[in-house]
């Protein structure tokens, strides 16, 4: 990678160049000005680029070379499940019969797509232990909000509109409290105990007749399984609340424990995590929601049903919460997830979880003497180290993360969860080989040594990337959010 | 377990268990209470090898009528437009599609710069000051605009035109319900928002007025008038726009829109049975700190080189938690990239040419329908959709059209009982004169 700036596409523009050819217009061209009301014809042209096709390919190829993906190298970003994205998924999603169909076509002309959606739902029902699944939500946070709106509708239908509070652990993903707010709830935080698990006493204190739901990730964001899950469920159900499963960490428990069997009433899944829909540089994702029987009437409309061998969308759902998204969800991502599940099968999914957990525990044990390990027990698919030992020597976790860039790795998630000082959350996934895990551990151990012997090299990292640390304060103080021609 | 995605060997496993100090993987799951432990394997379909699975899924895909084989006149928010072939080549570069959100800017400059360029292109097309990095789709983007307006104005009423896409209205209502915001709809007249009704409904309690441009019936709303009625009451003016139409139409920013949203699907993004598409969200500079989702900003590194970072993150869920401007986390980054490539390929001249082709072809179709004796009830200016009245059932007619290789228009009776036997026909630049003539002829035979 060379360190010269890649010009913006606007800076490559030369008047008169084009990157397209449309067919000649085969109907008479109209005088658009005469067809449009006064003032509606655009006068000032949008300043879009004027470049040739090769210019475009070179530009985006250069940009891609300035980007790190799973195919570039190891990406142990905790809570994000950065596993291999199978290429067959990409091919299937591009079949014209999946990519080039319109959501409002006559149902008889899209039975294949509906069959795939239905069968994916059936697979997800079995995997989660739920009674029904909707594929409508577009991403994890969207799924959280969808399920909370269903919980709200459920309570309102029971005359329980005083249930205004949603409880989340202090270790929860930020989307949990944010989704609760967007669904009109107030968030109450429950503390973690000294073992990193939900503090049962504190939960008993905050749960009450105003509780709408408890949102839980299990294993939690420390990678620890909530061993008291049945008691947690009992406490919440005892006060009339619903138990919500944040499926971000499902990769840790497939074929080992199903949310439906743990007492959860609803669950969202991140098909772009556990089920290999790629992350795409931030999206698109897909966030299906599964529910137990008593929440089924509230599922967003339409609901996909099968009658004999025919699939239809049922819009006649009087208690449905409404529609959370136009059409039927991120179908293209659902196709990829379905292809993945069918590639793995039941024995494959079981191995996925076993190897993901084995890999995480192996790395944790290799690294424990070099960093603080706040919770010393078997982890699930990820674990959290603390950099407080290194911080005392003047090197922050942020510095160590930046130093990892010099070794060609994407750093772990840092400073999360919030209840670990100088946290480093590592999730290897099952698709990485032992050699990769070892090389990464060696790099982190070397960095720990550098912190003692040569801290400057860590504090000033990265040294090999196309750009050094960026001035984020400047970016926020005087925001420049678009290109403007000089 | 041997699988091409799982590199673990028996030897690896043994060595790793030794380091952990246990004798079996099962011990790692001993903390799962016996009562909830799942025994055995899921009762799901067995694994299929790549070649067999490809064959099975290709057969499933073949069951669907796709717009590569059929001439599609179906629009209603999702369109069959020209997709430059390079779009797929760019988004297939796995440095882009296998990356996460660019939280580590030093190794994510490619993605960050691409988004910065996307934000710029959306600003240029919409005439707005600031655009974010994308939303799930046009419907949720419009709904988030409603919530932003309610929060910003501290008012609890949204006034939405019934000429907005009906599924978008459903989503607006859904999001508004979460915030206990009331949604009032404005009826239409001749396929346009009824401006006198709008004037009656907008008051000092109104947080925002939401209209679509071109509207659901393909008609072009009088944005100047809507702006005046909206701002008189100090409500926010929200426009849901088709960005491709803005190649030819005066952008909402010129009419004083406070928020312009929409879906970038017309630019290089597959119909894909309704998703994933790509919502966009653009505002005037006053609302910068209220915007939902991610924003990319320009800055410099320690050596003064230009670089890009996620910025103004104090609005977002991972920092602000329950006080965030939205709960959105994942967005549609890869599709924003696709749209950027398409907008770049078309460029300054192409967006105009393609928009004018849409108007011209739709105008041709309108005349052809009228010549064949069909009534085209809404005679206002249109972009690439028109409403045609037919005799008999639209749904039945569309089944016959399918047999002729045509995907017919949208049956408006499905969403509006006043518009039974009315069909919304979309004519993009992709449709040839022959296909349009064939459609009119076949529909003439069916619905005369």
Note which residues in 316-345 of chain B have CB less than 8 A from chain A: 316-324, 326-335, 337, 341, 343-345
Candidates A28, A46, A251: best to mutate against B (most CBs of B within 10 A) is A46
How close, in Å, is residue B94 to chain A by CA atoms?
Answer: 6
Question: Does B183 lie at the interface with A, CB-CB under 8 angstroms?
Answer: no
Alpha-carbon distance of A171 to A218, in angstroms, equals 11
The percentage of chain B sitting over the pLDDT mark of 90, rounded to a whole number, equals 97
Cβ contact (<8 Å) for A60 and B21? no
Region A169-186: what's the mean pLDDT? 94
Cβ contact (<8 Å) for A184 and B178? yes
How close, in Å, is residue A177 to chain B by CA atoms?
Answer: 5
**pLDDT recorded at residue A5:** 85
Question: Does A103 lie at the interface with B, CB-CB under 8 angstroms?
Answer: yes
Question: Does B8 lie at the interface with A, CB-CB under 8 angstroms?
Answer: yes
DSSP A136-186: ---SHHHHHHHHHHHHHHHHHHTT-TT--EEEEETTS-THHHHHHHHTTPE
B151: nearest CA partner in chain A: A182
Three-state SS for B105-136 is HHHEHHHHHHHHHHHHHHHHHHCCCEECCCEC
**pLDDT recorded at residue B323:** 86
Write out the E strands in A292-412. Answer: 303-307, 310-314, 383-386
What pLDDT band is residue B280 in, cutting at 50, 70 and 90?
very high
A470: nearest CA partner in chain B: B301
B37: nearest CA partner in chain A: A257
**pLDDT recorded at residue A486:** 82
Cβ contact (<8 Å) for A344 and B84? no
A135: nearest CA partner in chain B: B275
Cβ contact (<8 Å) for B402 and A109? yes
Note which residues in 334-393 of chain A have CB less than 8 A from chain B: 339, 341-352, 354-355, 357-359, 361-362, 365-366, 377-378, 380
**Distances in Å between the alpha carbon of A50 and those of A21, A55, B123, B197?**
13, 10, 17, 44
The percentage of chain A sitting over the pLDDT mark of 70, rounded to a whole number, equals 99
Predicted model pTM:
0.98
**pLDDT recorded at residue A482:** 98
**pLDDT recorded at residue B348:** 98
How close, in Å, is residue A389 to chain B by CA atoms?
Answer: 23
Q: Which residue has the tokens 């085209």?
A: B376
A183: nearest CA partner in chain B: B178
Cβ contact (<8 Å) for A101 and B65? yes
Write out the E strands in B202-289. Answer: 206-213, 236-241, 259-263, 279-283
The percentage of chain B sitting over the pLDDT mark of 70, rounded to a whole number, equals 100
* A308-317 CB contacts, 8 Å cutoff, 24+ apart: A310/A111, A311/A107, A311/A111, A311/A114, A311/A115, A311/A117, A311/A118, A312/A107, A312/A114, A313/A107, A313/A114
Note which residues in 316-335 of chain A have CB less than 8 A from chain B: 321-333
Alpha-carbon distance of A420 to A192, in angstroms, equals 11
Alpha-carbon distance of B417 to B14, in angstroms, equals 68
Which of B276, B343, B363 comes nearest A48 by C-beta? B343
Region A471-475: what's the mean pLDDT? 96
Residue B26: both structure tokens together: 């099962």
A411: nearest CA partner in chain B: B104
For A48-83, the pLDDT digits (tens) are 999 999 999 999 999 999 999 999 999 999 999 999
Q: From chain A, pick out residues whose CB is under 8 angstroms from the CB of B7.
A: 431-434
Torsion over CA: A79, A80, A84, A85 (sign) = positive
Residue A92: both structure tokens together: 């299937």
Candidates A76, A78, A98, A102: best to mutate against B (most CBs of B within 10 A) is A102
Region B95-121: what's the mean pLDDT? 97
What pLDDT band is residue B319 in, cutting at 50, 70 and 90?
confident
Candidates A326, A336, A338: best to mutate against B (most CBs of B within 10 A) is A326
**pLDDT recorded at residue A262:** 97
Cβ contact (<8 Å) for B246 and A46? yes
Cβ contact (<8 Å) for B297 and A475? yes
Region B258-277: what's the mean pLDDT? 98
**pLDDT recorded at residue B205:** 98
Region B119-142: what's the mean pLDDT? 98
Residue B58, phi then psi, degrees to nearest 5: -65, -40
Region A330-348: what's the mean pLDDT? 98
Q: Is the pLDDT of residue A245 over 70?
A: yes
CB A266 within 8 A of CB A147: yes
For A377-394, the pLDDT digits (tens) are 999 999 999 999 999 999
What pLDDT band is residue A3 in, cutting at 50, 70 and 90?
low
Q: From chain B, pick out residues whose CB is under 8 angstroms from the CB of A425.
A: none
Residue A278: both structure tokens together: 């790629």
**pLDDT recorded at residue A2:** 56
Q: From chain A, pick out residues whose CB is under 8 angstroms from the CB of B408.
A: 106
DSSP H helix total and E strand total for chain B? 13, 16
Cβ contact (<8 Å) for B16 and A19? no
Question: Does B39 lie at the interface with A, CB-CB under 8 angstroms?
Answer: no
Q: From chain B, pick out residues whose CB is under 8 angstroms from the CB of A359.
A: 16
Q: From chain A, pick out residues whose CB is under 8 angstroms from the CB of B63.
A: 97, 111-112, 115
Cβ contact (<8 Å) for B111 and A281? yes
For A247-301, the pLDDT digits (tens) are 999 999 999 999 999 999 999 999 999 999 999 999 999 999 999 999 999 999 9
Q: From chain A, pick out residues whose CB is under 8 angstroms from the CB of B352.
A: 42, 45
Residue B148, phi then psi, degrees to nearest 5: -60, -45
């Amino acid at each position: 990678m060379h360190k010269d700036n890649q010009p913006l596409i606007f800076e490559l523009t030369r008047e008169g160049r084009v990157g397209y050819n449309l067919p000649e217009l085969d109907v008479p061209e109209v005088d658009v000005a005469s067809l449009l009301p006064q003032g509606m014809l655009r006068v000032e042209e949008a300043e879009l680029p004027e470049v040739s096709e090769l210019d475009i390919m070179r530009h985006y190829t250069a940009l891609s070379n300035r980007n790190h993906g799973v195919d570039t190298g190891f990406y142990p970003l905790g809570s994000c499940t950065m596993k291999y994205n199978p290429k067959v998924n990409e091919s299937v999603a591009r079949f014209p019969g999946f990519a080039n169909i319109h959501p409002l076509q006559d149902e008889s002309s899209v039975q294949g797509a509906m069959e795939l959606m239905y069968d994916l739902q059936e697979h997800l029902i079995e995997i989660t232990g739920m009674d029904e699944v909707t594929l409508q939500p577009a991403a994890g946070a969207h799924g959280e909000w969808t399920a909370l709106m269903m919980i709200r509708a459920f309570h309102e239908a029971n005359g329980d509109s005083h249930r205004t509070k949603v409880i989340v652990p202090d270790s929860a993903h930020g989307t949990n409290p944010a989704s609760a707010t967007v669904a009109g709830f107030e968030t109450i935080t429950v503390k973690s105990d000294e073992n990193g698990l939900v503090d049962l006493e504190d939960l008993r204190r905050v749960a009450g007749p105003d509780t709408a739901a408890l949102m839980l990730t299990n294993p939690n964001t420390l990678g620890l399984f909530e061993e008291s899950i049945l008691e947690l469920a009992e406490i919440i159900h005892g006060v009339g609340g619903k138990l919500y499963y944040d499926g971000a960490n499902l990769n840790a428990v497939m074929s080992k424990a199903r949310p439906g069997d743990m007492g959860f009433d609803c669950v969202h899944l991140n098909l772009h995590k556990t089920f290999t829909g790629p992350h795409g540089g931030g999206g698109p994702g897909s966030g299906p929601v599964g529910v137990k029987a008593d929440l089924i009437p509230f599922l967003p409309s339409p609901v996909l049903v099968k009658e004999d061998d025919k699939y239809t969308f049922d819009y006649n759902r009087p208690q449905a919460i409404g529609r959370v998204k136009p059409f039927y969800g991120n179908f293209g991502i659902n196709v990829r997830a379905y292809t993945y599940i069918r590639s793995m099968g039941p024995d494959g999914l079981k191995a996925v979880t076993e190897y993901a957990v084995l890999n995480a525990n192996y790395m944790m044990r290799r690294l424990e003497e070099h960093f603080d390990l706040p919770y010393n027990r078997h982890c699930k698919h990820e674990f959290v180290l603390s950099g407080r030992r290194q911080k005392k020597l003047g090197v922050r976790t942020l510095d160590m993360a930046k130093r990892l860039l010099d070794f060609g790795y994407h750093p772990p998630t840092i400073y999360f969860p919030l209840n670990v000082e100088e946290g480093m959350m590592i999730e290897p996934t099952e698709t990485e080989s032992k050699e990769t895990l070892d090389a990464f551990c060696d790099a982190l151990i070397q960095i720990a040594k550098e912190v003692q012997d040569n801290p400057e090299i860590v504090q000033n990292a990265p040294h090999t990337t196309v750009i050094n640390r960026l001035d984020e304060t400047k970016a926020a103080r005087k925001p420049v959010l678009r290109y403007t021609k000089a | 377990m041997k699988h091409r995605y799982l590199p673990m060997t028996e030897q690896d496993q043994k060595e790793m268990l030794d380091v952990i100090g246990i004798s079996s993987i099962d011990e790692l799951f001993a903390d799962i209470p016996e009562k909830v432990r799942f025994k055995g394997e899921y009762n799901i379909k067995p694994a299929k090898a790549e070649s067999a699975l490809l064959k099975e899924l290709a057969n499933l895909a073949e069951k669907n009528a796709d717009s590569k084989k059929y001439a599609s006149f179906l629009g209603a928010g999702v369109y069959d437009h020209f997709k430059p072939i390079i779009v797929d080549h760019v988004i297939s570069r796995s440095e882009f599609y296998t990356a996460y959100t660019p939280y580590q800017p030093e190794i994510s400059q490619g993605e960050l710069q691409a988004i910065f360029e996307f934000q710029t292109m959306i600003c240029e097309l919409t005439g707005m000051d600031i655009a974010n990095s994308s939303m799930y789709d046009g419907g949720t983007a419009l709904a988030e605009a409603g919530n932003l307006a309610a929060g910003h104005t501290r008012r609890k009423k949204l006034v939405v035109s019934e000429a907005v896409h009906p599924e978008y209205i459903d989503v607006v209502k859904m999001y508004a319900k979460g915030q206990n915001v009331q949604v009032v709809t404005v009826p239409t007249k001749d396929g346009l928002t009824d401006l006198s009704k709008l004037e009656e409904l907008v008051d000092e309690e109104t947080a925002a007025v939401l209209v679509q441009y071109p509207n659901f019936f393909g008609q072009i709303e009088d944005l100047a008038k809507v702006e005046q009625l909206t701002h008189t009451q100090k409500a926010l003016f929200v426009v849901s726009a088709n960005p491709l139409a803005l190649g030819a139409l005066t952008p909402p920013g010129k009419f004083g829109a406070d928020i312009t949203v929409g879906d970038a699907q017309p630019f290089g993004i597959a119909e894909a049975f309704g998703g994933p598409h790509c919502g966009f969200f653009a505002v005037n500079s006053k609302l910068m700190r209220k915007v939902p989702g991610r924003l990319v900003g320009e800055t410099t590194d320690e050596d003064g080189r230009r670089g890009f970072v996620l910025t103004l993150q104090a609005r977002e869920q991972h920092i602000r938690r329950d006080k965030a401007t939205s709960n959105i986390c994942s967005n549609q980054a890869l599709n924003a990239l696709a749209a950027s490539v398409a907008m770049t390929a078309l460029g300054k001249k192409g967006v105009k040419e393609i928009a004018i082709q849409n108007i011209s072809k739709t105008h041709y179709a309108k005349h052809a329908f009228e010549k064949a004796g069909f009534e085209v009830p809404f005679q206002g200016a249109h972009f690439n959709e028109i409403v045609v009245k037919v005799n008999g059932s639209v749904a039945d007619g569309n089944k016959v059209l399918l047999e002729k290789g045509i995907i017919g228009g949208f049956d408006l009776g499905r969403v509006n009982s006043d518009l039974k036997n009315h069909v919304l026909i979309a004519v993009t630049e992709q449709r040839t004169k022959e296909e349009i003539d064939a459609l009119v002829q076949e529909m003439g035979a069916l619905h005369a």
